[in-house]
Structure 1
Amino acid sequence: MTSLIKAENIKFSYNGTPAVAGVNFELLEKDFLAIIGPNGSGKSTLLRLISGFLAPSEGSAGLLGRNVRAYPKAELARLIAYVPSELYVPYDFSVFEIVLMGRSPYVAWWRNYSEADTIRVLEILRKVGIPDLKDRSVNSLSSGERQLTFIAQALAQDPKLLLLDEPTSHLDINYKIQIFELLARLASTGGMGVAVVSHDLALLSAYAGKALILKKGGQVFYGPAEEGLSGVNIASAYGIRDAGSIARLLPHMVNRGKMA
């Protein structure tokens, strides 16, 4: 499998306070990576570092064998798509218009979107399962519909790497499962790597193939999710004294895409 991202001893501080401390991992094509840890452990900052928004104070993030910060912005936008945890839309765009904006990296400043861009957006709306929302105002959508819309916008970039920061926060279980099933399918059949920051440990344990577990001050684990999402590793990251309680709290709600 092609190596998409390779992080080597990445460190980053805000005003002298360490936020990411010595993180090492590799994300391959078709990987579904869960990034886990308590609040303040640097998960969201790590996404910004590997997507090129921030420069590490030490270490490096390589994208397809090249430092991610060395890519021109337009080229980087064709390789990495990032869905942040908070999304604000100041205008009353339709779902179609929002997703079409994802084609911007392929549109030169002197021309408009093409018929091919329109066709691609319609394909993605079907893939994500929201073709019927095409003409709806994004501000009229439910939280789950809205999140699917912004995932579709990210997919319109046709990225090699899809990064998502808490994509199922505040959603009901129906949309949580729908989104995780979509992400797992994209990783396994879509020819891309997927990395998700999430606190939904039960769903991550069912869908993710790899896990990167962080805690304040460092990295706890990187490797197979089945091994990483154990009582010992989660307890170490979150400071839980009784590691045995993790197994009782994290049943497999979904078994690799099928309801148990």
Structure 2
Amino acid sequence: MLRTENLFLSYGDKPVVQDISLAIPEGGITCLLGPNGSGKSTLLKSFAGLLPPQSGQTFLDGRPVTDWNRRQLALRLAMLPQKPIVPEGIKVRDLVALGRFPHRKWWQGNSTADDEATTEAMTMTGVLELAERPVQSLSGGQQQRAWIAMALAQGTQILLLDEPTTFLDWGYQLEVLELLSSLNRRHGISVVMSLHDLNQAAQFADRIAVLADGQLKAIGSPQQVITETLINAVFRVSTTVRVGNDGRPFCSGASTSVNTTPAIIN
């Protein structure tokens, strides 16, 4: 599906991602974790073809992302930024229908297939009953569901999400993450998202990649990655990692700690 090979990314002269090589398997949920400025959002932009590499390469289905044209890429994956801008006065149905743009020529209107895909996407995300409401009138969680519906209407099998729970209270955060988990389990949609909350990543992810200072420090299952040694080093905290009844790790009792050198786990 998606992989990078000796990837370097920068903004002007400022390096952000440095020599990252990783593979993201298809069909699962992968979370990118790391402190602010670690390169999570930048890496997602590279996956989406929005930021050309300084060196190295990002591949989709074995083909460099830079070789895909925008329409082809939009039919394969969809990306939601951290805080998308809601068009003034737009209704939920019309927002979701924007996801159908890659499926038609610029002069064509919505087809029956477009309308059906829009309705199906709203049904899958639980916003069909909100179809005629202005997006700006919705709660934060409902708005995020509408944006995810728009991405699903594209008909892609890969969702890239940059901090999808940002600005949401705890209940809406869990609602969005449970929706993404359901889309993955029931429809086989691959999810790659950046998160700040380690325990949410450990609960919902199949695979976690930890970044720090633009470098990949660890990648593996939650049980492999969420360890006291790694978390304390990368996030410069002192925390205890326990294992829940579901076999997944969780962090508790964190406090600030001294600077240490991150460990690397294969």
The unaligned stretches of length 5 or more in structure 2 are 249-266
**1:183 aligned to which of 177, 180, 183:** 180
Q: Which residue of 1 aligns with 2:104?
A: 107
- Alignment root-mean-square deviation, CA: 1.8
Letter in structure 2 aligned against 1:77: A
1:61 paired with 2:55, answer no
TM-score, length of structure 2 as denominator length: 0.88
The sequence identity of aligned pairs, in percent, is: 34
Distance 1:114 1:253 in 2: 49
TM-score, length of structure 1 as denominator length: 0.90
Distance 1:254 1:166 in 2: 25
Distance 2:35 2:240 in 1: 15
Q: Which residue of 2 aligns with 1:207?
A: 204
Is this contact kept in 2: 1:234–1:246, CA < 8 A?
no
Q: Give the alignment of 1:24-103 within 5 angstroms.
A: 24-103=21-100
Instruction: Give 1:226 deviation, angstroms.
Output: 2.1
The unaligned stretches of length 5 or more in structure 1 are none
Q: Which residue of 2 aligns with 1:146?
A: 143
Moved more, 151-160 or 206-215: 151-160
Distance 1:102 1:252 in 2: 39
Is this contact kept in 2: 1:79–1:160, CA < 8 A?
yes
Distance 1:145 1:43 in 2: 25
1:174 paired with 2:168, answer no
Q: Aligned pair count?
A: 248
Q: Which residue of 1 aligns with 2:262?
A: none
Deviation per CA, 1:233-253, whole angstroms, max 9, x where unpaired? 22222122x3xx1426xx869
Instruction: Give 1:58 deviation, angstroms.
Output: 1.4
Instruction: Give 1:48 deviation, angstroms.
Output: 0.5
Distance 1:253 1:68 in 2: 41
Distance 2:196 2:144 in 1: 16
Distance 2:186 2:229 in 1: 32
Instruction: Give 1:158 deviation, angstroms.
Output: 1.2
Deviation per CA, 1:129-159, whole angstroms, max 9, x where unpaired? 1111110001111111111110111111111
Q: Give the alignment of 1:237-252 within 5 angstroms.
A: 237-240=234-237, 242=238, 245-247=239-241
Is this contact kept in 2: 1:202–1:252, CA < 8 A?
no
1:124 paired with 2:127, answer no
